[in-house]
A = this chain, B = another copy of it.
């Protein structure tokens, strides 16, 4: 494990993206998203993803110059063709357009297709909420999750993030609708650690504690039938509103060679009408249950982690750190 200063990471990530042909402002957006994930303790969405992004550009399935073609279908519904652009570049452009519109209309929705992986949804939720808007962010992905009671994957990990202005720091929650991420299962496999029996099925559809077997199987939805219903609803809603692929036909966030055909939906609502700080403080001050050190507000652990890592540096797996340097051209390939 290497521990690297954040400004060094930003500089090298920028160099790597520019070497791949990404214009400087697009590189800034993409690298900020990746570095923020590592800062907040979500390495699965951090610089680990840099090599795939670079490879996809090299393979011609990502156009690093595109920022999406926006088309209003009605005063409050924005259809976006991402033109195979970088996910955060296309998403941020759409969000700027939505916020400008919602300032007047009160609400606006974007439905994005033909764009690349948009990474940690909480990054968008927090930024939009900090600008005074409530936001719901949805994105689909490759089928990795099994329907409740089924043996095979048929639904994406379909995360949802919600950002809300509070009068102080924005509220932000961000969660996949799977019980864990595939990244966490890969991490267990790497460490040869067992996984809990309710996390995943093997390729034959049977429960397994073998993380290696789970990699070719299916992850469980979180919260049983309820989480299944939510994850399926998001799959259907995003596909329906964007025209994106669905279920096992989704490609392009976990490979280097396929055009990415998932969809993203953002709902932006002008707000708030109410200060929420007193209520959040009341929750933070609650007496914790047995086995808990305190009562947490979603998103705040990530913020604490971020502050520490800005000060002390960002821990990166050795392979990731080697790769970042190699892509930036500051060290020979291993």
Task: Report which A residues bind B (CB closer than 8 A).
Answer: 72-77, 102, 104-109, 134, 136, 146-152, 154, 160, 162, 164-166, 171, 173, 175, 179, 201, 205-206, 222-230, 232-233, 236-237, 239-243, 246-247, 267, 269-274, 276, 279, 282-283, 286-290, 292, 294-298
List the B side residues contacting A233 at CB < 8 Å: 162, 164, 171, 173, 298
* B222, B230, B241, B269: the one within 8 Å of A77 (CB): B269
User: Within the complex, what minimum Cβ distance (angstroms) separates A247 from chain B?
Assistant: 5
* B179, B206, B267: the one within 8 Å of A290 (CB): B206
**A107 touching B76 by the CB < 8 A rule?**
yes
The copy count of this chain in the complex is 2
List the B side residues contacting A247 at CB < 8 Å: 279, 282
* B270, B276, B294: the one within 8 Å of A236 (CB): B276
List the B side residues contacting A222 at CB < 8 Å: 223-224, 226-227
Give the complex CA separation of A287 and B74 in angstroms: 42
- List 19 additional A-B contacts (Cβ < 8 Å) besides A223-B226, A240-B273: A73-B106, A74-B270, A77-B107, A106-B109, A107-B108, A134-B237, A136-B267, A148-B296, A149-B288, A150-B283, A152-B287, A162-B230, A162-B237, A222-B223, A222-B226, A223-B223, A229-B298, A240-B274, A246-B274
Residue among A102, A166, A239, A298 with the highest chain B CB neighbour number at 10 A: A298
List the B side residues contacting A76 at CB < 8 Å: 75-76, 102, 105-108
Give the complex CA separation of A296 and B289 in angstroms: 35
List the B side residues contacting A224 at CB < 8 Å: 222-223
List the B side residues contacting A74 at CB < 8 Å: 102, 104-107, 270
**B232 touching A298 by the CB < 8 A rule?**
yes
User: Within the complex, what minimum Cβ distance (angstroms) separates A221 from chain B?
Assistant: 9
**A271 touching B241 by the CB < 8 A rule?**
yes
List the B side residues contacting A146 at CB < 8 Å: 289
Residue among A206, A233, A269, A273 with the highest chain B CB neighbour number at 10 A: A233
Give the complex CA separation of A242 and B164 in angstroms: 13
**A267 touching B270 by the CB < 8 A rule?**
no
13 example contacts (A-B, Cβ-Cβ < 8 A) are as follows A75-B106, A76-B105, A76-B108, A136-B136, A147-B295, A150-B283, A150-B289, A151-B286, A164-B240, A173-B232, A225-B298, A241-B273, A247-B279
Residue among A160, A240, A273 with the highest chain B CB neighbour number at 10 A: A240
Closest to A110 in B: B107
List the B side residues contacting A243 at CB < 8 Å: 273-274
List the B side residues contacting A148 at CB < 8 Å: 295-296
User: Within the complex, what minimum Cβ distance (angstroms) separates A132 from chain B?
Assistant: 11
On whether A230 and B175 interact (CB within 8 A), knowing A147-B283, A154-B282, A154-B286, the answer reads yes
Closest to A109 in B: B107
**A134 touching B240 by the CB < 8 A rule?**
yes
Give the complex CA separation of A236 and B283 in angstroms: 12
User: Within the complex, what minimum Cβ distance (angstroms) separates A142 from chain B?
Assistant: 15
